[in-house]
Amino acid sequence: MYRAQEDTALLRDVLRQRGQVAGRSVLDVGSGTGALGIEAFRNGAVSLTSIDLSRRSVLASWLNSRLHGVPATVRRGDLFAPVAPRRFDLVLANPPYVPAAGPLPPRHRMARCWDAGPDGRILLDRICAEAPSVLSEDGALLLVQSELADGRTTVDQLRRAGLVAEVIARARVPFGPVLRARAPMLRARGLLGPEQVEEELVVIEARHG
């Protein structure tokens, strides 16, 4: 678990502007600190369920929700498994998406918050495939990721899963500590330009057709 970054801020801004949260049930998957779910509740959500695989993140989500007076249900588990077969009106996702050297995400280190395999898509691909099963008939998924993990592929996979998907927000941000440290490796693999010091973040919305 690590403190909220620019990706959380971008998704939070989208949530405020067009999340249509009032009166809706919300699932915050990969909740981390719980910031996104708390924001959704402040904007009128009627219920909030938060999920994370990390024990520290589960504890942080639970404590932060209580400190802010938000009656969240917090679960530990792998993506959507803890809530099956429930469906939600709004699903928020800020998963790990940074390309890593190894094929599998770490199990216990801080890097599990961002490492997502060689192409950054270990969890993104799973979310694309499984999201339809947790969305209500008129529900929506809001997902934030870096273009280093190929937002076009995310949109295409969500569409193949039967959802209507599009990029609804973009922001360019300077590299944080993780990408600065990893930049030589990513440049060697052709994922970064030789002088690139910024990444583009995108928010993708997906709904049932």
Q: Which of 15-24, 31-40, 106-115 has the lowest mean pLDDT?
A: 106-115
- pTM here is 0.91
Domains of the chain: total: 1
Check residue 19 and give its pLDDT.
Answer: 67
- Check if the beta carbon of residue 136 is closer than 8 Å to that of residue 89: yes
Check residue 36 and give its pLDDT.
Answer: 95
Average pLDDT, the chain: 90
Nearest Cα to Cα of residue 6 among 28, 38, 35: 35
The range of the structural domain enclosing residue 71 comes to: 6-208
pLDDT bucket at 2, cuts 50 / 70 / 90: very low
Within-domain flag for 194: yes
Within-domain flag for 197: yes
Q: How does DSSP classify residue 134?
A: T
User: Where is pLDDT greater, at 188 or 164?
Assistant: 164
Check residue 183 and give its pLDDT.
Answer: 86
pLDDT above 90 (res 3): no
3-state secondary structure of 48: strand
What CATH number does residue 198 fall under? 3.40.50.150
Residue 68: both structure tokens together: 């802010």
User: Where is pLDDT greater, at 177 or 124?
Assistant: 124
User: Where is pLDDT greater, at 182 or 162?
Assistant: 162
pLDDT bucket at 1, cuts 50 / 70 / 90: very low
**Average pLDDT of the segment spanning 10-34:** 92
Within-domain flag for 1: no
Nearest Cα to Cα of residue 201 among 155, 140, 156, 149: 149
